[in-house]
Amino acid sequence: MYRILKMRQLTPVTRLYVVDAPLVARSAQPGQFIILRVGATGERIPITITDFDREAGTVTIVVQEVGKTTKWLAQLGEGDYIHDFAGPLGSPVELPAQGRVALVGGGFGTGAILTIAKALHGRPGITVDAIVGARNQDLLILADEVSANVDRFLACTDDGSYGYKGFVTGVLQEKIKAEEGYDLVIAVGPMPMMRAVAEVTRPYAIYTLASMDPIMLDGTGMCGACRVRVGGENRFACVDGPCFDAHKVDFEEVTRRTKMYKAEEKAALEHFEHQHEHEHECQCKKTAAVR
Amino acid sequence: MAKMKRDRHPMPLLDAAVRVNRFDEVALGYTLEMAIEEAQRCLKCKNPTCEIGCPVQSPVKDFVALLAEGKVAESVKRLREVNRLPAICGRVCPQEEQCESKCVMGVKFEPVAIGRLERFVADWERQHGFGELEPVASRGVKVAVVGAGPAGLTCAGDLAALGYQVTVFEALHAAGGVLMYGIPEFRLPKEIVETDVRRLEEMGVEFRYNVLVGRTVTIDDLMEKDGYSAVFIGTGAGLPKFMGIPGENYSGVYSANEFLTRINLLRAYKFPEYDTPLKVGKRVAVIGAGNTAMDSVRTALRVGAEQAMIVYRRTEHEMTARREEFEHAEEEGVQFNFLTNPVEILANEDGWVTGLKCVKMELGEPDESGRRKPVTVKGSEFVMPVDTVIMALGTTPNPILLRTTPGLQSNKWGCVVADPETGATTRPGVFAGGDAVTGAATVILAMGAGQKAARAIHEYLEKQAAVHA
Ligand code: FES
């Protein structure tokens, strides 16, 4: 069992958790993820590591409520326990010693670029731009933390409520055209965003990594569910990834595969919400009876 | 004494029509009367060859003799001195190739049903309560076991019995390895594995879950920072193989490991009570013909497939599955397509599997393995309409531990190099055994390797102590 030491609501649907996991914190590297199970009947879901503190023995994750598991997790607060928290999993991302780097984060992915930004921060010979996007200002997460660790923090919102109006790809495109471009681009976020980033950098042949988030079960190299076609070959995201050459990833295939359980995910959520309503009702009745 | 019985007592089975709809155990086990009667068939050979046939040298003659006298508690106690997981071995060992193949009764008649007797005494013990554990003096020396599968559990138990302080590091959230995620409930109830694990805990073995050695901690960490004097690696077989044919990543294509893990470890068959989803269609094809393939195809029937079939490019005679598993599958209505080789998986526009394109094969000349090599029959291409495909083709070694452990050597297949007699690797103090060393093999061979390594670790640590004394 892994204790939640701190919980912070970042947006109405996004929360940050600081979890007591000393062994994970001791070995965590940028680009890696953990797999958690909220409770004994739960599924195992992979979540990118947002931050870690080796001395305090803590690991920070950012979770957006999208389905049953994340909504279940959202019910937990400080002092509660997560049943299983395995990691760090996946291979650390290989970071350069010098050059111009752009870290592109979309939605909850903005949290995930933080470890990378921190690792690069202060390396001589490296300049880092963070290009992060959200639908509006309220949904932009961890702006302070990320901006403190990069040379330039370039935010954009779909509605223009903060920073550039438009998508991260627009900013990226602009920066590549107007300036001398980048030596490395790392994209973390929703699949369509990473795919779009890959298309922006492709004509310029800028080396681009995308942090893949395929279906996973064990995360240890046993089940093969996490296979992603990269350069025509099957690679396992939990062994050789999750970061792969974005120009070689078959995005169409991996996107399709991640939707394999859409109907079941919906059913699980409905089941959960139904149960929840039920519990709620019972509790109301109980309170009423006491009165 | 009654006339010598020539035939062994048959195993009572759950009716095929009933069992295909549930996960209940298929083989029901002997009654006490059946077990005693069967045990009395033993000839008590002076040189019990059956024991030589056992990879862990279980004391077959002794335990069967005690059982024949009706002394069940003593029988199981004697067996457990050597074999830590008898309820498991009694169910999943290929006895017909091991102890029973060497049984003298078997020369003229049917061999004594050693496996069934082993299972009987172990089950009896579980039902009647375990005997007291004999206290062992602690040596105050720490040993780490990596992986809680059959090799690791055996090694941990043997070392704990010698007084070592053993910690088992397991990457998943439960112990048992393949016993837990791979072998289905109807062949090995999970409660049995859990009971054996609890038994090890009572012996003082500590289990740490969610620790992937090679990522969460390294072997260097364990030995240099955390004070473990020796390490045993029993990490298992590794990543599933795929065929490399077009369409393998369509929705509805699983590796056997994924399919079985969803069901066995994560209880997807109880969705939505359990959260892990599973999608199985009406017509399921399982490619391969080993025990894992049989487990997959029989499981498919139990989770709603109307038709489940094996697709195998060789014939019945080359199948590596146990005869018993093949027969049980046939009884349950599994279809067998021999001499059939898949060449492509077809899908609809949404990427869901709709068919398996295959070619017919015929047997040609024998290959290196001595099995006749199947060759394609020209123009025999056809499409099998299926909506789920499960690949049960074996595994390739997991590279994570090797990549993060300096000084640990692998062979050309990527398996850890270890001495077959001692499990000693190329790194002092680090031992290995089971599928991580041999590639995918059987539970009992892994147990045998764990047992040998425990002995070797003990010797190694004694020597170390002598040097430093
Ligand atoms: S998640 Fe199972 S092998 Fe990668």
ipTM computed for the complex: 0.89
Q: Which of A47, A91, A222, A260 to mutate to test the pocket of ligand 1 (most atoms within 8 A of CB)?
A: A222
Q: Which pLDDT does position A279 carry in this prediction?
A: 61
pLDDT at A50 over 90: yes
Same domain, yes or no: A243 and A151: yes
**What mean pLDDT is predicted for residues A45-60?**
94
Residue with tokens 């979890």: A19
Q: Is residue A272 part of a domain?
A: no
**Quick check: A62 and A50 in contact, CB under 8 A?**
yes
Which residue of B239, B273, B399 is in closest CB contact with A224?
Answer: B239
**What mean pLDDT is predicted for residues B175-192?**
93
Q: Is the C-beta atom of A225 inside 6 A of ligand 1?
A: yes
Residue with tokens 């260097």: B220
Q: What is the pLDDT of residues B22-61, one digit of tens each?
A: 889 899 999 999 999 999 998 999 999 999 888 888 999 9
Mutate to test the interface with B, among A1, A220, A256, A259 (most CBs of B within 10 A): A220
Q: Which pLDDT does position B3 carry in this prediction?
A: 55
For residue A9, the Cα-to-chain-centroid distance in whole angstroms is 16
**Sign (positive or negative) of CA dihedral B343, B348, B349, B350:** negative
Q: Is the C-beta atom of A84 inside 6 A of ligand 1?
A: no
Same domain, yes or no: A80 and A162: no
Same domain, yes or no: A61 and A177: no
What atom of ligand 1 comes closest to residue B257's alpha carbon?
2
Same domain, yes or no: A120 and A76: no
Using 50, 70 and 90 to split pLDDT, how confident is the model at A179? confident
Same domain, yes or no: A77 and A188: no
**Could you tell me the CATH number of the domain that includes residue A26?**
2.40.30.10
Query: What letters, b where the CB count within 10 A reaches 16 and e where it falls short, cover A123-152?
Result: eeebbbbbbbbbeeeebbbbbebbbebbee
Q: Is the C-beta atom of A215 inside 6 A of ligand 1?
A: no
The rounded distance, in Å, linking the Cα atoms of B150 and B61 is: 24
Q: Which pLDDT does position B376 carry in this prediction?
A: 93
Using 50, 70 and 90 to split pLDDT, how confident is the model at B418? confident
- A268 to B181: CB separation less than 8 angstroms, yes or no: no
Mutate to test the interface with A, among B190, B215, B245, B271 (most CBs of A within 10 A): B215
pLDDT at A9 over 80: yes
Q: Last residue of a domain, which of A65, A89, A113?
A: A89
Q: Is residue A291 part of a domain?
A: no
Q: Which of A45, A238, A254, A258 to mutate to test the pocket of ligand 1 (most atoms within 8 A of CB)?
A: A238
B252: which chain A residues are within 8 Å (Cβ-Cβ)? 260
Q: Which pLDDT does position A290 carry in this prediction?
A: 44
Q: Last residue of a domain, which of A89, A107, A139?
A: A89
How many structural domains are present in chain A?
2
Q: Which of A96-100, A248-252, B162-166, B437-441 has the lowest mean pLDDT?
A: B437-441
Q: What is the pLDDT of residues B356-403, one digit of tens each?
A: 999 999 988 888 777 788 899 999 999 999 999 999 999 888 888 888
Q: Is residue A278 part of a domain?
A: no
Q: Which of A218, A244, A257, A258 to mutate to test the pocket of ligand 1 (most atoms within 8 A of CB)?
A: A218
Q: Which pLDDT does position A132 carry in this prediction?
A: 92
Closest of B103, B92, B108, B466 to residue B291, by C-alpha: B92
- B131: its two tokens: 């005997």
Using 50, 70 and 90 to split pLDDT, how confident is the model at A28? very high
Same domain, yes or no: A82 and A172: no
**Could you tell me the CATH number of the domain that includes residue A137?**
3.40.50.80
pTM of the model: 0.91
Q: Is residue A94 part of a domain?
A: no
DSSP letter for each residue of A149-174: TSSEEEEEETTSSSSEES-HHHHHHH
Same domain, yes or no: A32 and A128: no
Same domain, yes or no: A165 and A198: yes
**SS3 state at B42:** coil
The rounded distance, in Å, linking the Cα atoms of A27 and B213 is: 11
Same domain, yes or no: A154 and A251: yes
Q: Which pLDDT does position A138 carry in this prediction?
A: 83
Same domain, yes or no: A125 and A245: yes
Q: Which of A75-84, A263-272, B457-466 has the lowest mean pLDDT?
A: A263-272
Using 50, 70 and 90 to split pLDDT, how confident is the model at A278? low
The rounded distance, in Å, linking the Cα atoms of B72 and B39 is: 11
- B249 to A236: CB separation less than 8 angstroms, yes or no: no
Top mean-pLDDT range of A197-201, B127-131, B320-324, B443-447: A197-201
Q: Which pLDDT does position A261 carry in this prediction?
A: 85
Q: What residue numbers bound the domain in which A64 lies?
A: 2-89
pLDDT at A289 over 50: no
Q: Is residue A283 part of a domain?
A: no
Q: Which of A189-203, A214-228, B84-98, B227-241 has the lowest mean pLDDT?
A: B84-98
Query: Percent of chain B having pLDDT more than 70?
Result: 99
- B198: its two tokens: 């609890």
Same domain, yes or no: A124 and A250: yes
Which of the pair, B210 or B279, is modelled with greater confidence? B210
Using 50, 70 and 90 to split pLDDT, how confident is the model at A166? confident
Q: Is the C-beta atom of A216 inside 6 A of ligand 1?
A: yes
Q: What is the pLDDT of residues A253-267, one digit of tens each?
A: 999 988 888 888 888
Using 50, 70 and 90 to split pLDDT, how confident is the model at B465? confident
Q: Which pLDDT does position B1 carry in this prediction?
A: 43
Q: Which pLDDT does position A11 carry in this prediction?
A: 87
Beta strands in B98-235, from DSSP E residues, in sequence order: 142-146, 165-169, 206-208, 230-233
- Closest residue in B to A25 (Cα–Cα): B216
Closest of B444, B462, B385, B450 to residue B422, by C-alpha: B450
Which of the pair, B407 or A281, is modelled with greater confidence? B407
Q: Last residue of a domain, which of A55, A89, A123?
A: A89
- A234 to B242: CB separation less than 8 angstroms, yes or no: yes
The rounded distance, in Å, linking the Cα atoms of B74 and A280 is: 55
- B212 to A41: CB separation less than 8 angstroms, yes or no: no
Same domain, yes or no: A81 and A222: no
Which residue of B216, B252, B262 is in closest CB contact with A23?
Answer: B216
- A87 to B262: CB separation less than 8 angstroms, yes or no: no
Query: Percent of chain B having pLDDT more than 90?
Result: 62
pLDDT at A288 over 50: no
The rounded distance, in Å, linking the Cα atoms of A171 and A103 is: 12
